[in-house]
A = this chain, B = another copy of it.
Amino acid sequence: MLPLSEVKVLDLSRVLAGPYCSMILADLGADVVKVEMPKKGDDSRAFGPFVNGESAYFMSINRNKKSITLNLKAPKGKEIFKNLVKKFDVVLENFRPGTMERLGLGYDVLKKINPGLIYAACSGYGQTGPYTDRPAYDAVIQAMGGLMSITGFPEGRPTRVGASIADITAGLFTTIGIMAALVKRKSTGEGDMVDIAMLDSIVAVLENAIARYEITGKVPGPIGNRHPSITPFESFRVSDGEIMVAVGNDDLWAKFCQAIDKPELIDEPKFKINPQRVENYDALKPILQSVMAQKSVDEWILILEKAGVPCSPINTIDRVVNHPQVMARDMIVKIHHPTAGEIKIPGSPLKFNNAKVIFNPAPILGQHTDEILKELLNMNENEINMLRNNEII
């Protein structure tokens, strides 16, 4: 049995942060019903590239979910939504704050309908504070939250993380918030509202940058691919690319020097122990760089792995999807989609001894509308046809 198989989620979210959260809930067995605008659906259904008209982006983040169409601007659509809310444990949305209230479907309204409801709102800046009403994009949040200022090279420009990490970490914290509320509700029967912001989430994942700044008064800057206090612990240019090498302690230093055929460096007083290597970095780096430049990525990886020195090629995505460990962990899964055919998407990092995530394809728009209206609200064909003719569904 999957851990969340008794949990039902009514999901109004679109594009990334919210859908990433509901993907995890669905992977864990929750019954996730995506509520989409008739005709149009989740904006990301229109994001290319496409396979037989289906968006790769949408398919990879909406697996294991159901889809119903429902026009929440129409009074009849609101009525149906409220009736559905009675049957669900969780409502999830990632609209700009105030949107649900304007629709007459805010938490205050819904909790009267379903007092045990867990209502999760995921937004750019959160439901409170002077920035609450602003539109947010991942790139703006990465800039505002300080992550870009510590990513990149000292001589270069502040750098955006290549994945939408502000959306994704907000999605992860929203998942955690929902689950915490579920655990509590199992004891108390009480529902709650969860309010997650992308900006808060980025501040929370800056690691030690904030504590370091508060204590030293020194503003942390980008340090490229180096470790701040261990040497050598960085990427080196090699003959055909670049590799990451992590000489985490003095034992590894000896192994590394042997492996690169520079045994004379091991006991060289300037480099013998890590604090000296950090202090004499400017002397050490050119020596190592000139040796590393002499062989290729694959040659160095073979040599360093044999010597037990932690290292890795800087894998491009084609190498990642074929990586033996990635494959052994089922992190690339095949899904058969009714329209798109067989596609490969990332698997789930959530591994349990007593449960295994399964993967069903993302729904086509409104695929489960009839089924859900019949099963949960006891509607008949006639009622459903009338709703469809009136563009409510």
Contacts and interface: CB of A to CB of B under 8 A. Distances in A.
A160 to B, nearest CB: 4
A291 interface: no
A112 to B, nearest CB: 14
Contact of A140 (B6, B172, B246, B354): B246
Contacts of A156: 153, 156
A105 interface: no
A204 interface: yes
A214 B317 CA distance: 9
A16 B207 contact: yes
Contact of A180 (B28, B167, B310, B323): B28
A319 to B, nearest CB: 8
A181 interface: yes
A391 interface: no
Contact of A129 (B141, B318, B319, B329): B329
A383 B233 CA distance: 45
Contacts of A205: 163, 165, 168
Contacts of A149: 162, 314-317
B188 A130 contact: no
A244 interface: yes
Nearest to A186: B186
A324 interface: yes
A223 interface: yes
B181 A3 contact: yes
Nearest to A353: B193
24 contacts: A4-B184, A16-B207, A56-B212, A129-B325, A137-B248, A139-B233, A140-B311, A140-B312, A143-B235, A144-B244, A148-B225, A149-B162, A149-B314, A158-B235, A179-B180, A179-B183, A180-B350, A197-B349, A200-B329, A204-B347, A206-B320, A210-B321, A213-B317, A214-B321
A260 to B, nearest CB: 17
* A179, A325, A355 pick with most chain B CB within 10 angstroms: A325
Q: Is the interface of A mostly helix, strand, loop or mixed?
A: mixed
Contacts of A130: 324-325, 328
Contacts of A348: 204
Contact of A157 (B1, B220, B242): B242
A366 interface: no
A389 interface: no
- What is the interface residue range for chain A against chain B? 35 or more
A151 interface: yes
A344 B161 contact: no
Interface in A229-287: 229, 233-235, 237, 242-244, 246, 248
A195 B352 contact: yes
Nearest to A217: B318
Interface string A171-198: 0110111011111101110101111110
Nearest to A48: B229
Contacts of A246: 137, 139-140
A142 to B, nearest CB: 8
Contacts of A192: 3, 352-355
Contacts of A312: 140-141, 143-144
Contacts of A243: 143
A344 to B, nearest CB: 4
B194 A351 contact: yes
Interface in A115-164: 125-131, 134-137, 139-153, 156-164
A193 B157 CA distance: 43
A353 B195 CA distance: 8
